[in-house]
Chain A
């Protein structure tokens, strides 16, 4: 956010010099109206358009198959359905009012107003100050894909036991009352966390901490699946999960490198950091499995890859390739301990480890950005602890605390509210039979023909 602000300021300053006005004055009178359709770069527009498509691919089919493979046979369709429905539901919510709440003109640093609802004042030709070289509507749809995948990540926590109707109501409420405000604080023009100097390159806070903490709340409110942990079947289709993890990795290049909002050096450095952290995360997790259980597992290496990706999200675009490797290694260790040792002791049933990987990875990423960020990589960023600057780390810590507290409390309240309205949990009989048949009257696999 701060980075974009600076890009905009630099651009305005250049315009100002041309107009023979002092840069200082223009900054104080900064007016978005300065941008015209002539500022659009075809290269940047091409890259961000493709990136938006890549981020769509992360939800369907990436996340859908990652999660779908990890549940039992009887619930595979319910998970694919939830991911697909999320794409339909939040895409419309975003255009109607979600985008305006998140990015629209600021109200006291807390939320956007509704003047961009229904895409009023959101041009298909003219750039916005958020991304000065691509059309405003392109920025809007790129951000839409983030708004879709974030609540979709929470599916991993309540998978296999949530009523479909409750899922829809909760997702809509959560996207509106949790995603939009947190997105505004971190990325919106005037958002209060951005003003603190916190860095979030591609959504470690907005997406991963936010969804991860909501996942923890969801696992606690909805309760354990019947038979957990003694009588749970293993993942029904690890090849699906591996396919999904591969698609997530692929899509993540759009997520992180696309977040440069331009094609060039910054997108390249984010691309490299993303890839290296995923590789280091997967490798480290495999080694952890090998040391602890004598076998490297497929579920382990794909979990480690995703943990590396979730953790680098915040830092991509601010760190050197070597720092990205360090972040990936840490992402293969801390979430490993979390899902292997800590979760079983705490006893909550985060079915597919949405909190253990995205929540823990996101928090880790926020803190590690405060450690490894470097102005040499991105002048619009800041230096982290290893470069002797403590302020960034402090801002990152505050961001984590604020996001965790807000996401947990509001998610908890929304879950209780939906529970009171329609009941969150499928009845026990439906859960035993499987949600594919009871909620959707379909089966993923037939026995005969």
Chain B
């Protein structure tokens, strides 16, 4: 099992969600986050005082999947999230030790889907 964390551009969220849906990956947790990568922040100006390197708004997706679904998930995020511009974001793939469904107590692969 893998735990996939993706940080993407906010305006690509709809597109990524649709691609995930098409590949029958329905489980996802989304948070609105602030971040900064190689794109750096956009400097803002208040009363002519420049605030350099401000953080940018990003969307963070967290998806737990069985090994068979890792490739489709990554494909969906890349297809939906890519604009070709700096700042498209990153995907992190982590090993996942255990999953427990709170309602039934099922664990592992059974609980994940």
Chain B's closest residue to A336 (CB) is B48
Chain A residue contacts of B51, Cβ below 8 A: 234
Chain B's closest residue to A229 (CB) is B49
- In the complex the two chains form, is A303's CB within 8 Å of B48's CB? no
A341 CA to B48 CA, complexed, in Å? 8
Chain B residue contacts of A234, Cβ below 8 A: 44, 46, 51, 54
Q: Mask for A326-344, Cβ within 8 A of B = 1, else 0?
A: 0000000000000111001
CB contacts under 8 Å to B, within A291-323, are: 292-293, 295, 297, 299-300, 303
- In the complex the two chains form, is B48's CB within 8 Å of A293's CB? yes
A234 CA to B47 CA, complexed, in Å? 10
A66 CA to B46 CA, complexed, in Å? 15
| B110 touches A (CB below 8 Å) | no
Closest chain B CB from A400 CB (angstroms) = 25
A295 CA to B42 CA, complexed, in Å? 13
| A349 touches B (CB below 8 Å) | no
Interface of B is mostly: strand
CB contacts under 8 Å to B, within A137-177, are: none
Closest chain A CB from B21 CB (angstroms) = 28
Q: Mask for B36-69, Cβ within 8 A of A = 1, else 0?
A: 0000000011111111001000000000000000
Closest chain B CB from A77 CB (angstroms) = 22
A297 CA to B45 CA, complexed, in Å? 8
| A431 touches B (CB below 8 Å) | no
- In the complex the two chains form, is B49's CB within 8 Å of A303's CB? no
- In the complex the two chains form, is B44's CB within 8 Å of A340's CB? no
A300 CA to B48 CA, complexed, in Å? 9
Closest chain A CB from B36 CB (angstroms) = 16
A341 CA to B49 CA, complexed, in Å? 9
- Could you say which of B46, B50, B54 contacts A299, with CB atoms under 8 Å apart? B46
- In the complex the two chains form, is B45's CB within 8 Å of A339's CB? no
Chain A residue contacts of B47, Cβ below 8 A: 299-300, 303, 339-340, 353
- In the complex the two chains form, is A297's CB within 8 Å of B46's CB? yes
- In the complex the two chains form, is A293's CB within 8 Å of B46's CB? no
| A419 touches B (CB below 8 Å) | no
Identify the interface centre among A234, A235, A300: most chain B CB within 10 Å of its CB: A234
Closest chain B CB from A361 CB (angstroms) = 15
- Could you say which of A229, A235, A289 contacts B48, with CB atoms under 8 Å apart? A289
Chain B residue contacts of A295, Cβ below 8 A: 45
- Could you say which of B46, B50, B54 contacts A235, with CB atoms under 8 Å apart? B46
Chain A's closest residue to B46 (CB) is A234
CB contacts under 8 Å to B, within A232-265, are: 234-235
- In the complex the two chains form, is B46's CB within 8 Å of A292's CB? no
Chain B residue contacts of A229, Cβ below 8 A: 49
Query: What are the 9 tightest A-B residue pairs by CB atom distance, in nearest-first order?
Result: A340-B48, A293-B45, A234-B46, A339-B47, A340-B47, A299-B46, A293-B48, A234-B51, A292-B48
Q: Which residues of B contact A (CB under 8 A)?
A: 44-51, 54
Q: Which residues of A contact B (CB under 8 A)?
A: 229, 234-235, 289, 292-293, 295, 297, 299-300, 303, 339-341, 344, 353
Other A-B pairs, 18, CB within 8 Å; known A293-B48, A295-B45, A297-B46: A229-B49, A234-B54, A235-B46, A289-B45, A289-B48, A292-B48, A293-B45, A297-B45, A299-B47, A303-B47, A339-B47, A339-B48, A340-B47, A340-B48, A340-B49, A341-B48, A344-B49, A353-B47
